[in-house]
Structure 1
Amino acid sequence: MRSPENADEIRRLFDRGIREHARPDGPGVRVERAGPVVRQVGGPDDWNGVVWSDPGLDARGADAAVAAQIAHCTSLGLPEFEWKLYAHDRPADLGERLRAAGFVPEEPEALLVAPAGPSAGAVGLPEGVSLRPVTDAAGAELMARAHERAFGTDGSRLLHQVVRRLEEAPEDFVAVLAVDADGEPVCSGRMELYPGTGFAGLWGGGTVAAWRGRGVYRALVAYRARIAVERGYRYLQVDATALSAPILRRLGFLELGTTTPYVYRPGR
């Protein structure tokens, strides 16, 4: 990969390598090019949605593409379908068109990227806290528990995805836990490695409220960054919430824009 000169160039590399030429994020799912969009398709417990749309998409083409994705979602009987919209996607009013068609926007996230090397330094952990790689179903259950405690949302879908990934396609996947002295999970995170792109994606990283601000999240970033560097990956990429974005900016992550999940739920 040649050296990017600025944020626009890194974003072009990201759009091409991670979005337009997306790879399935786990076993049992597939990536399809459907006219002007690229989408992932799987079962009801998998992530289903559009990851890329043609930058030349105009208003008429956008409406047709949105209608086609609704028909696709409905025909498969999926409980929900997401259009992952980035701020630089076209046409400029694509979000409004998605909303008019019945998609509901969730909270936007910052698209952040940083060189993996500088993020891989050692970070001290609070007394009694240790990091533990996740390699089996028992570890995945602790990840789901950490997710539920950190975000207040159901972790069953995450549990299903991590267990299946560890059992069937672990080669480009890394998962890690932070646990307290009693073995209770206080933070967890995952990393997707995208061969041939130079990018590794960091996911999760939610920290239980009582442990926030004590370096646990930063330690999980550094742990995954070290593995990324060892495996030859150049960049770390995060879709960051309002909680994690300030931490990542302090660690040197560059904001390339925002991404907003637009979710369609048939029958609602």
Structure 2
Amino acid sequence: MVDTAGLLAAYDAQMRMPPGAIPAGVTHEHDGPLLRIVGGHVGRIRAPRDVGVTGAELDRLIARQRDYFRARGQGVEWKVRAHDLPTDLPERLVAAGFVPQPPATVLIGSAAEVAAAEPVLPGGVTLRRVTEAADLRRIGDQQAEVWGIDSSWVGNDLISRMSADPGQITVLVAAASDRIVCSAWMVYHPGTEFAALLGGTTLPDWRGRGIYRAMLAARAREAVARGFPLLHVDGSPDSAPILRRCGFQEITTSRHYQWSVDVPALVPGPAAVPDL
């Protein structure tokens, strides 16, 4: 039997606040129990499971984050899990003008188990690691092709992470000739048991051919080699069923609540770049 309660406890203890090197141009600021991540394409708010304040005090805490980023002329997203406290946090975020985005499934898998799979890539498709800025920018272009919106920030974010500490990220692409058909990366969380799976975006006409599974296995093998036993992913509705078949366990759900300066919600797309 899988100890899902134990996995959730490990997730809450280790994965709430981002450890490790901070990407270039990004700063971390604390406001009470919250961590504000400033300097990315949008602001981000991270919090412990229990924010620790309720009622009017919680409303003031929420308003401070919104107004802080309003003064910067920038949007902000607040990530909430289904088991977070207080239970009325989502309703209070909405009352403050934040717009809920579609939920994702939070899953955890054994790196060793996922690494044992031997998926077969389609003919003519090769998988390789990339580190150069030009390749990382091409990933942003590939994400834009899938999502239909400007995703240049993805390439910039990968470049910043690589510059901050290349040892804390692995970026992979699957290519057919010179075309990137799938891109995915993994961020290692030093001092924890976890490596986080991100990206995992496959062009629609290349889905269902085993490429996503190959990306999972390749990243899992790298996690095992680096001593990270657990894989974490916020899975989209498309990827979650595949992840479950690969042995991942659902522990909760997550949802981003987004506030923007000039529109009711930020443009839909890979806000947190989940695996897809």
- Structure 2 length as normaliser, TM-score? 0.88
2:107 matched residue in structure 1? 112
**CA shift for structure 1 position 74:** 2.2
2:269 matched residue in structure 1? none
1:131 matched residue in structure 2? 127
Pairing 1:84-163 to 2, within 5 Å after superposition: 84-121=79-116, 122-163=118-159
- Secondary structure of the corresponding residue to residue 19 of structure 1: coil
For the Cα contact (< 8 Å) 2:120–2:214, is it kept in 1? yes
1:18 matched residue in structure 2? 15
For the Cα contact (< 8 Å) 1:36–1:57, is it kept in 2? no
Distance 1:92 1:239 in 2: 21
Which stretch shows the higher mean deviation, 112-121 or 7-16? 7-16
**CA shift for structure 1 position 139:** 1.4
For the Cα contact (< 8 Å) 2:43–2:74, is it kept in 1? no
- Structure 1 length as normaliser, TM-score? 0.91
For the Cα contact (< 8 Å) 2:19–2:190, is it kept in 1? no
**CA shift for structure 1 position 150:** 2.6
* Residue among 4, 8, 17 paired with 2:5: 8
Which consecutive segments of 4 or more residues in structure 1 shift more than 6 A? none
For the Cα contact (< 8 Å) 1:119–1:225, is it kept in 2? yes
1:35 equivalent to 2:28? Answer no
**CA shift for structure 1 position 22:** 4.3
The count of residues paired between Structure 1 and Structure 2 equals 261
1:68 equivalent to 2:64? Answer yes
For the Cα contact (< 8 Å) 1:59–1:91, is it kept in 2? no
- Secondary structure of the corresponding residue to residue 247 of structure 2: coil
Structure 1 157/20 Cα, relative in aligned 2: closer, same or farther at 3 Å? closer
- Secondary structure of the corresponding residue to residue 15 of structure 2: helix
Distance 2:193 2:16 in 1: 13
Distance 1:142 1:259 in 2: 28
For the Cα contact (< 8 Å) 2:21–2:164, is it kept in 1? no
1:243 matched residue in structure 2? 238
Partner amino acid, structure 2, of 1:129: V
- Secondary structure of the corresponding residue to residue 256 of structure 1: strand
* Identity of matched residues, %: 37
Distance 1:243 1:201 in 2: 18
1:252 equivalent to 2:247? Answer yes
**CA shift for structure 1 position 21:** 6.1
Pairing 1:45-84 to 2, within 5 Å after superposition: 45=41, 47-53=42-48, 55=50, 56-75=52-71, 77-84=72-79
**CA shift for structure 1 position 164:** 2.4
Which stretch shows the higher mean deviation, 238-247 or 152-161? 152-161
In structure 2, stretches of 5+ residues that fail to align are 264-276
Structure 1 34/234 Cα, relative in aligned 2: closer, same or farther at 3 Å? same
1:170 equivalent to 2:139? Answer no
